Chain A
Amino acid sequence: MIGSAALAAGAAVTAPFLLPKYHSDQRPKRSRVAILDAQQYSQQLDQILAAGLRLFPLDVRGKRVLLKPNLVDYIPGNTINTHPLLVLAAAESFRRLGAESVLVAEGPGHQRDTHLVLSQSGYDRCLRDERIQFVDLNRDQLIRTALRASYTGMKDLWLPRTVLEADFLVSMPKIKTHHWSGVTLSMKNMFGLVPGARYGWPKNILHWKGIQESILDLCATVPIHFVIADGIVAMEGNGPLNGSARPLGKIVLADDSVAADATCARLMGFEPERIGHIHEGSRFLGNASPALIEQVGETANAPATPFQVVPEFRRLRAL
């Protein structure tokens, strides 16, 4: 079913691209990534994150900041979603940095009842207590948006107004393996922008058009300004829903989503250039090469045991 297109997509992306399929080269000359040590979800995340953000010359004063966590579904005991305490810490930090507004927005890709996911995953209470607005991107007002890359062959997508009107988009993925795309990190997290009300649950059209290709088209069209990746407890194996918890004890911050995802992949014990959307994204979206990434905080050491993956993605693991 949805797997077929994904596997075909993987093959397509690893084939040579004869002509550029992107409109513009958006790569910065150099990118900065910070790996922060955080062993557990606690109120101290606030301080850890605030200290980490000071490592970047961020100016969000007067900007509308949109935090985009990975909120897919809730299964008791499974570490599926970006932890709400990390999202709260991010909201608080950006407020302190002078943002005009901070909101959280997501369009869950598996569960149609967004309210239920928010409630079961603990977001509902956290957001209400801190008076943070949540926007259900599956049902937001839509605007037809021309794609700024043509990997899928689609010319446009209907995208939520809230996303298009944000000044500063922060992708906040959960670091996980993914049975169709290998990994799901800050770039794959952008699938949550695609409205289920228009494209269905799961967002099946993106699978048929190619998961890797869809990630590239989306990231080319809606720029990610910053990444805060939740790797405190990550997921390995049959992700994104049914994998096993993998304590990693890290938060990854970056001003470049390709650099963030390449670094996360290394922390998982994977070769980033073997992941289609990271490899291709490094041609025009951001930097994957360590030579172009200024690493601050902890070092990006590969784990002694790489993350478990489904058999089709064993090739991602570093030798």
Chain B
Amino acid sequence: MHDDPLKDEPKEKVDDNSGVSRRDFLKISTISAASVPILGTKIVQADGQPVKVFGPGKVPVELTVNGEKHTLKLEPRVTLLDALRDQLDITGAKRVCDRGECGACTVLLDHRAVYACSVLAIDAQGKEITTVESLMQGETLHPIQQAFVDNDASQCGFCTPGFVVAFKAFLDQHPQASSDEIRRGLSGNLCRCGTYHGIHLAIAQMARKGA
């Protein structure tokens, strides 16, 4: 997680004191239309366009996680994953590659699966954040979780929450999906212990249910 100073990129002209990094810049520029009202922002010119800048320093951030609202003060560069884990102690989503390669940090953002390591916390404001912790109904496992248990689809278990959440997101959007389709849908998640055989079986169990 190294944020290279923007001054290394001479093409993009930004107020030198803005504290904006290239990574922040890219994120900000994609959400500038979302116009989330946040205190402490300012507008700078980047490539002739006005963009909203958060920080430098900590800014207030409001996150809705599993239906509960949390108000935090975070540096704008903090990812959703780190905010969940280090600020809210919601640790089901795991930090593994920290750059969108392995899927262990998968959470739902407005019901769509995202890599929480690749979303800034400030970008997750105003959206419904759902983590693996919310899948159980009381002490009853979600059918996907039960399918993982039945088919021994976890060993060390570090990739498991990411797989479970990605699985749920995919099935929610494709309730009639076949096993092959689910497999493709989960191909953004990696396991090291080698639990894919169990996951294949869990997929088959769920696909049968869906059919």
B and A form one assembly: no
Q: Which residues of A contact B (CB under 8 A)?
A: none
